[in-house]
A and B are shown apart, each in its own frame.
Chain A
Amino acid sequence: MSISRRKFLGWMGAASLTSAVGTSARAASNHEFKGYEDSMAVLHDITRCIGCRKCEGACNTVNDLPKPEKPFDDLTVLEEKRRTTAKAYTVVNQFGGQAPTFVKKQCNHCQEPACASACFVKAFTKTPEGAVVYNEKVCVGCRYCMIACPFEIPAYEYDEPFTPRIMKCTMCYPRITKGLLPGCVEACPTEALVFGKRQALLKVARQRIADYPDRYVDHIYGEKEMGGTNWLYLTSKPYGEVGMREDLGNTPAPKLTKGALGAVPMVVGLWPVLLTGIYAINKRKEKIAAEEQHAAVDEAVAQTNAEAEAKLAAAMEKAAQNQEAAVAREVKKALEEAAKAAAEAEAAKDEKGSDAPDGTSEDA
């Protein structure tokens, strides 16, 4: 933990420093990120795939995944629709009965990976080589990446109670950094998979479409989908018919949550202002109310006293004309009344006073 805390602090330092210095990512709101220019990619020409499952076999060996119950040269497997699992990073699916089309499915290595954007421990990284790699050292196993992935690729070791991992194609990152081809590409007997620089492969794909206009649908899947992927596809049948979604749109995943994330600091900045403001206003209201009450009470008291005195004066005058006995009685009576009134007023005052602190006692 101590190490990690140091990391955290270090990172804080770095961040604040760079923010002060100003980083090289001077991105105006309209700035568009192009991704790594020299990133590698794979072009999957569906028209060339013969469904031999050599890629599946190669993938299984190079990533030493558990052997499946049916061997890889058993093509009956193709008959039911499969997806990537924790035990298979890639699968080939078959579409259409007569003259079937075969499509390989694996991580498309998005240029703006949804999994990376979604991961709250940065377990996914888009490498300059183009691969999207996963770091199990930090993974908590929340599976948000699986929710986020539009291609439904990441799989999870549900049967693993203690150290479950997210499992997905790595574009053979360890191999390509050594200058080797990805396992599947190397194994493909028809070069339905070709590995190269993304930019170059896009040219190749466009050229094929131009050369054989009636063999290809005029669209390179992965050039723009979800902001572009490092796995590109060519096909003869519409992509929708070979199990690839055409309704994903071209918005890169991070853009989808940009707005929501942007609102967060605004709330943090403005809510205190708003709430404290409301609080202060209410507080002020109460203060004024309280003061008005006091004023009213004082007035009442003053009034009653005045009346009492008036009475007293009148009585005196009367007394002047009347005899002492009567005088004495009158005066006594008046004084009593006055005292009584005053007492009442006082009482009323106390009541109000005692109310004031209530409620406000908590808010300090």
Chain B
Amino acid sequence: MSQQANRSTLFTPFNVIAGLIVIMGLILTVIRFTKGLDATTNLSDYNPWGLWIGFDLLVGVALAAGGYVTSAAVYIFGMKRYHSAVRPAILTAFLGYALVVFALNYDVGRPWRLPYPFFVSQGTTSLLFEVGACVALYLSVLFIEFSPAAMEWLGLKKARNLVVKLTMVLTILGVILSTLHQSSLGALFLIAPSKLHPLWYSSYLPIFFFVTSTIAGLSMVIFESTLSHHFLHDKMDEAHLAGNKGLALGFGKAAAWVLAGYFVIKTIGVAADNNWHYLGTGYGAWFLVEMLGFVALPAFMYAVGVRDRNIKIIRWTAAWTVLGIVVNRFNISMVAFNYHLPSSERYFPHWMEIGISVFIVTVGILVFRFICTRMPILYEHPDYESH
């Protein structure tokens, strides 16, 4: 993709590695769609969902929450000072969701039937229906929200201005849809109380998932802006470069506060089902690692970073929190799921599954770079300076 962009630096180490990953990805794709899941995954009748759901779907959607969080902050809560963060966030979200849908094609048995739930046979009692509907709608919403950038790039003034008029509606719609499917992803597991370890199973699962999604969103925006700051420095205008610090502080503060709240409701979750005694077990230890290491700790580190204006701490905490989200989603979808089965029946991903996931992430990074190097994401387009 980016190859033809700049011939002189075609064979930078980054490009070479990315290229290799992409090639591997394509080969694995062929295997997946000719030999089936059996040949490419460790999925079994006991473990029907693996890495492609646990990471590509659950983590993917969570980390793409930056879109609605930022746009809500700026347009609904009127925090204009973060305006420069909206477009990158929207773009990340858009790519995130696009890749989620892309990844789903690998996981489901008959990808071409993915529209069936909406057009052929509506299983409205299923939370997966609800998730599907929201993701589909939100993906289109994100596309529209993102389109102005593309239009500015292509110079479609009229269309661009028209879409910009819709910003408010789209934002609110985006928040609604996100609220729904972010929480419903957690609600997916409500139907299997006998399979998910009591420490992670809770009737509050949907709420937990929604709250964590906002945490993920806030942290991801910081994380992503940090990366852009590092690698796309030359693509950023003063507003973005300047905004970067304020963003980290503002979003860091928010993240810390939400994490604190999350810690509280998680504790209440344990109390609600009286699961205290499980804390003594092996799973309990791991649960505590998640709670203290990936919730309490980042909450504190964020706070520290915000108090003494230490951007470095905030950025590393953001990265750590993002990892925390990964851990949480992995726990629910894989580690604590089927806890009752003997270890011989437990699931661990096949290298090809990991390969595909890495491939998809790489594609994401490449597309992100491709767009940022061309469209007005990290800078404001001269013709559309706001005044």
Query: Using a CB–CB distance below 8 Å, which chain A residues touch chain B?
Result: 1, 4-5, 7-8, 11, 83-86, 114, 116-123, 138-144, 146-148, 150, 152, 154-165, 245, 247-249, 253-254, 256-257, 259-261, 263-264, 267-268, 271-272, 275-276, 278-279, 282-283, 285-286, 354, 357-359, 361-364
Report chain A residues within 8 Å CB of B176. 267-268, 271-272, 275
| Distance from A284 Cβ to chain B, minimum over Cβ atoms (Å) | 10
**Is B188 a contact of A144 with CB atoms below 8 Å?**
yes
Q: From B48, B121, B126, give the contact of A117 (CB < 8 A).
A: B126
The answer to whether B191 and A148 touch across the interface, beta carbons within 8 angstroms, is yes
Whether B110 lies near A121 (C-beta < 8 A) is: no
Which of A122, A268, A357 touches B121 (beta carbons < 8 Å)? A122
Among A261, A276, A364, contact of B130 (Cβ-Cβ < 8 Å) = A261
Residue of A nearest to B46 (CB): A152
Q: Which residue of A lies closest to B384 (CB)?
A: A361
With contacts A120-B129, A282-B77 known, what are 7 further pairs, Cβ within 8 A?
A: A120-B123, A147-B49, A161-B34, A162-B36, A260-B206, A283-B78, A286-B78
B114 with A140: CB separation less than 8 A: yes
Identify the B interface with A (CB < 8 A): 33-39, 41, 43-46, 48-49, 72, 75-78, 80, 83, 107-110, 113-114, 116-123, 125-130, 132, 164-165, 167-168, 172, 175-176, 179-180, 183-184, 187-195, 203, 206, 340, 386-387
| In contact, B180 and A144 (Cβ under 8 angstroms) | no
- Chain A residues closer than 8 Å to B175, beta-carbon distance: 271, 275
Which residues of B lie under 8 Å from residue A114 when comparing CB positions?
191
Closest to A280 in B: B76
Query: Contacts A5-B119, A118-B128, A144-B128 hold; do A362 and B110 have CB atoms under 8 A apart?
Result: no
Residues on A with beta carbons closer than 8 Å to the beta carbon of B203: 259
Q: Return A277 CB to nearest CB of chain B, in Å.
A: 10
Chain A neighbourhood of B77, CB < 8 A: 278, 282
* Inter-chain contact B190/A257, CB cutoff 8 Å: yes
Give Cα A85–Cα B38 distance, bound, in whole angstroms. 14
Assembled-state Cα–Cα distance A121/B45 (Å): 20
Do A362 and B386 touch across chains, with their CB atoms under 8 A apart?
yes
Least CB distance from A79 to B in Å reads 16
CA distance A358 to B176 in the complex (A): 27
Instruction: Determine if B128 and A120 form an interchain contact, defined as CB atoms under 8 angstroms apart.
Output: yes
Q: Nearest chain A CB to B109's CB is how many angstroms away?
A: 2
Say whether B49 contacts A260, CB under 8 Å. Answer: no
**Is A140 within 8 A of B387, CB to CB?**
no
Q: Are B192 and A363 in contact (CB under 8 A)?
A: no
CA distance A1 to B327 in the complex (A): 41
Is the pair A159, B190 in contact by a Cβ cutoff of 8 Å?
no
Tell me the smallest distance from the CB of B128 to a CB of chain A, in Å: 4
Q: Which A residues touch B33, using CB under 8 A?
A: 161
State how many angstroms separate the Cβ of A39 from the closest Cβ of chain B.
20
* Residue of B44, B164, B206 touching A263 (CB-CB under 8 A): B206
